[in-house]
Structure 1
Amino acid sequence: MRASRLVSILLLLQTRGRMTARELAERLEVSVRTIYRDVESLHAAGIPLYGDAGRSGGYQLLDGYRTRLTGLTTDEAESLFLAGLPGPAAELGLGAVVAAAQLKLMAALPVELRDRAGRIQERFHLDAPTWYRDPEPVTYLSAVADAVWNERRIQVRYRRWQAPQEVERRLEPYGLVVKAGRWYLVARAGESVRTYRVSQILDLHPLPERFARPDGFDLAAYWQGYLEEFEARLRWGEAVVRLSPAGLKRLADLMTPGMVTAAQESAQPPDEEGWTRVTVPIESIEHALGEFLRLGTDAEVLAPTELRERVATTAAELAARYRFS
C-alpha cells in the first residue's frame, strides 16, 4: 500500500508539477504527516524531489526528471478498458486515436493482464445514449472542442427555446460535457457561466483572441451544481397520487428519477385496496398530465384539483372517442 502511494506521489508531481503537502494528502486521502514521511523516503531513494516553504511553496520534481514506472495492477488495466467512450470519441474525431492508444496499451501489457483486458472488451460495452433516440447532429462539435482546448473565443448563432429563439453569443468555452449521448458546452457569456447544447449551435466563427481560463474552475463541480439547479427549477409544485401495486412497479420505468425517489420517500402504507398514496414533484400541469396518463388506470390523481380535473376531462374525451356504437 505504501509503495503504491509513493508511486502515486511521483506520478502526481510529474503530471501536475508543484503540489503542496496538503494537496497531496487530500488527493491520496492520508494525513499531511504521512506525506512528510513519504517525501523523506523518496529523498532517501535518490529521487530529485525538493520543496519550497511559503504560501506559493510545495514539492516539485527537478526539471527534466521523468519516472519510467509503467506497471499497472490488474484492476487498473481492466478499468482503462472499461472507461472508453467510443461513440463520443468518434464524434470528437478521436475514434482512430483511441483505438490506436488501446492497441499500444494492449501490446505493452504483460500476457496475464492482456488476457483480462481482452475479456473485458469482449464482455462489456458502453452505449451511453438513451433508448428510442437518434443521435443528435453536432455539426460544430470539433470546432467547439478545438476552442475549448486552445482557449479561444468563439462567436455563435444559437437556437434556444424562449423568444427570440435565435441569438448571437460571444463565448469563452471552458469545457464539454456529454450526458445521455448529448453534448453540452460550458462557457462564459458576458459575466456569467452558462450551458449550451452543442446541437443547437446554428453557426460558429472562431475568433483570433484567446482568453484566460479562471484559476480553480472545476468543470465537474460546475456540472453537478447545474444539474441540481436545473432539477430544482423543474419542481413547479407537487401532486398527490394513489398508485395500484402495478402502478407502483411501473413508476420506475415511466417517470423521471426525481419523481421515483420522491414517491419512494413519501409512500404511505397501502390502503384496504392495496393502493399506495405518494407525493411527487411536477414540472407543470400540462407535463404532469402526460406523465400520469401513461400509468392509465393504475394511477388516481388526488391533488392539485386542476390536475385531477384535467385527467378526468381527458379520460372522458378518450372514452367518447373510442365508444362503440
Structure 2
Amino acid sequence: MKSSRLVSILLLLQTRGRMTAAQLAAALEVSVRTVYRDIDALHAAGVPLYGDAGHAGGYRLIDGYRTRLTGLTTDEAEALFLAGAPGPAAELGLGPVLAAAQLKVRASLPAELRAHSERISARFHLDAPGWYADEDDVPHLPAVATAVWNSRVLHVRYRRWRAPTDVERRLEPYGLVLKAGRWYVIASAGTGDARTYRVDQILQLHVSEEEFEPPAGFDLAAYWRHYQDDFHGRLHSGEAVVRLAPGAADRLPGPALREAARTTARPEPDGWTGAVVPIESVDHAHDEFLRLGADIEVLEPAELRHRIQATVKALGDLYGRA
C-alpha cells in the first residue's frame, strides 16, 4: 500500500540518514520511478525532505525532524514481541534494557495493537535449549558482547578439544551467534580469517583498549550458513550397511539417516529392510545404533559390527549372571 510505503520511506531516512532513490527502491523492493512519485507525495504533504544532486547526493530529512509514526501493522507488532528473547537478553546483560524497550513500545502503540502484543507475550514463550542439553555457564558473555559491539580486541585463554587443550589467543570478535541455547563468537585470531569459538570454553578473558576494523562486507548470517553447511558436510564422513526391522527407519537418529534409509531401502523377504546410512564415526554409530536394540543389524563396516557384537555379549554376560 502507498501509505505504508510513505511511512517506510520516512522511517528509513530517519534511521539511516541520507539515501539515494536507488537505495530506497532496493530497500522497498519497488522501482526508482515509484520512489520519485512517493517523494513528490511527501513533499506535497509538507514533509521537510530535501534532495541533493551529485555523487554524494540523495534524499534526507531536515536536521532534527522526527516522525512519531511507527508504521507498525498488527502482524508487525505481534512479531516484534514474539522476537523478544528474555533469556538470551539476560545472558548478554540486556534483560532490563529489553524490558524497558518493550514497555516504551507498548506505551506508544494504539490500544488495539497493544492488546495484540500483550496476547503474544502471554501465549508464546521462547526456550531455545534442548531438553537433554546441560545449560552452558557463560560468565564471560557480557564482556564478549561488549567487545563485539565496540570492536575491541580480546585476549583469552581458550579450551579446545585437541592438545594442547588450553591455548592463549588474541581475538578480533566480529559477532555473536546463539544456536540451540549455546553461544558462539565469530572472531579472527589476527589472520583475517573468521573462525568459530564457543563462549563457554573461554576460561579467562581480558578486553583490551585496542580497536580493530571488521573486514569490509563481512556478513555474519552468511558466514554462519556456510559454517553450518561445512559442519554438516564433515559430520557424516562414512557409511554403514544395515538391516532395519519394520518401523525402525523412523527411529534412526537425525533426519540425514532417516532420509538415507528411505532412499536406499531394499525390502527383504522377512519384512526387514536393507539400507545404507551415513555415520560420523564407528564410536558415534556404535552408541546411536544400540538405542534401537534388536531392531537394527549392522552388516558393514566390520569394525562397527564387531564392536556392537562385543557390547551385546558383555551385556548378555552381565545380565546372565542375575
Task: Give the TM-score normalised by structure 2.
Answer: 0.90
Note the residue ranges of structure 2 that are not aligned, 5 or more in a row: none
Q: How big is the shift at 1:304?
A: 2.5
Aligned-partner residue type, residue 157 of structure 1: R
Question: Is the 8 Å Cα contact of residues 267 and 276 (structure 1) preserved in structure 2?
Answer: no
Distance 1:321 1:223, change over 3 A: same
The residue that corresponds to 2:8 in the other structure is: 8
The residue that corresponds to 1:240 in the other structure is: 241
The residue that corresponds to 1:259 in the other structure is: 257
The reply to whether residue 117 of structure 1 matches residue 117 of structure 2 is: yes
Distance in structure 2 (CA, Å) of the matches to 1:240 and 1:33: 61
Distance in structure 1 (CA, Å) of the matches to 2:232 and 2:214: 27
Q: How big is the shift at 1:233?
A: 1.9
Aligned-partner residue type, residue 199 of structure 1: D
Aligned counterparts, 1:268-283, within 5 A: 268=265, 270-283=267-280
Aligned-partner residue type, residue 166 of structure 2: E
Per the alignment, in what secondary structure is the counterpart of residue 322 of structure 1?
A: helix
The reply to whether residue 312 of structure 1 matches residue 294 of structure 2 is: no
Distance 1:241 1:46, change over 3 A: farther
Structure 1, residues 7-56: CA drift from partner, whole Å, max 9, x if none?
Answer: 223222322234444444443333444444434443444441425454x6
Distance 1:142 1:153, change over 3 A: same
Distance 1:248 1:29, change over 3 A: farther
The residue that corresponds to 2:131 in the other structure is: 131
Distance 1:59 1:136, change over 3 A: same
Question: Is the 8 Å Cα contact of residues 8 and 71 (structure 2) preserved in structure 1?
Answer: no
Aligned-partner residue type, residue 164 of structure 1: P
More displaced 10-residue stretch of structure 1: 229-238 or 33-42: 33-42
The residue that corresponds to 1:145 in the other structure is: 145
Distance in structure 2 (CA, Å) of the matches to 1:298 and 1:40: 71
More displaced 10-residue stretch of structure 1: 202-211 or 231-240: 231-240
Instruction: Give aligned-pair identity as a percent.
Output: 63
Q: How big is the shift at 1:298?
A: 1.7
Distance in structure 2 (CA, Å) of the matches to 1:139 and 1:43: 52
Distance in structure 1 (CA, Å) of the matches to 2:214 and 2:248: 49
Aligned-partner residue type, residue 223 of structure 1: W
Distance in structure 1 (CA, Å) of the matches to 2:174 and 2:43: 38
Q: How big is the shift at 1:57?
A: 5.3
More displaced 10-residue stretch of structure 1: 242-251 or 153-162: 242-251
Distance 1:141 1:275, change over 3 A: same
Q: How big is the shift at 1:267?
A: 4.3
Question: Is the 8 Å Cα contact of residues 7 and 71 (structure 2) preserved in structure 1?
Answer: no
More displaced 10-residue stretch of structure 1: 63-72 or 18-27: 18-27
Distance in structure 2 (CA, Å) of the matches to 1:176 and 1:184: 6
Q: How big is the shift at 1:318?
A: 1.9
The residue that corresponds to 2:102 in the other structure is: 102
Question: Is the 8 Å Cα contact of residues 152 and 206 (structure 1) preserved in structure 2?
Answer: yes
Aligned-partner residue type, residue 317 of structure 1: A
Q: How big is the shift at 1:324?
A: 4.7
- CA RMSD of the aligned region, Å? 2.3
Distance 1:146 1:306, change over 3 A: same
Distance in structure 1 (CA, Å) of the matches to 2:260 and 2:53: 52
Structure 1, residues 230-272: CA drift from partner, whole Å, max 9, x if none?
Answer: 1112222122333223322323xxx2344344444x2436444
The residue that corresponds to 2:299 in the other structure is: 302
Aligned-partner residue type, residue 214 of structure 2: R
Distance 1:321 1:167, change over 3 A: same
More displaced 10-residue stretch of structure 1: 236-245 or 42-51: 42-51
Per the alignment, in what secondary structure is the counterpart of residue 217 of structure 1?
A: coil
Distance in structure 1 (CA, Å) of the matches to 2:203 and 2:53: 50
The residue that corresponds to 2:203 in the other structure is: 202
Distance in structure 2 (CA, Å) of the matches to 1:122 and 1:209: 44
Distance in structure 1 (CA, Å) of the matches to 2:36 and 2:70: 25
Aligned-partner residue type, residue 94 of structure 1: L
More displaced 10-residue stretch of structure 1: 103-112 or 208-217: 103-112
Distance in structure 2 (CA, Å) of the matches to 1:173 and 1:116: 38
Q: Number of aligned residue pairs: give it.
A: 320
Distance 1:313 1:209, change over 3 A: same
More displaced 10-residue stretch of structure 1: 284-293 or 34-43: 34-43
Note the residue ranges of structure 1 that are not aligned, 5 or more in a row: none
Per the alignment, in what secondary structure is the counterpart of residue 218 of structure 2?
A: coil
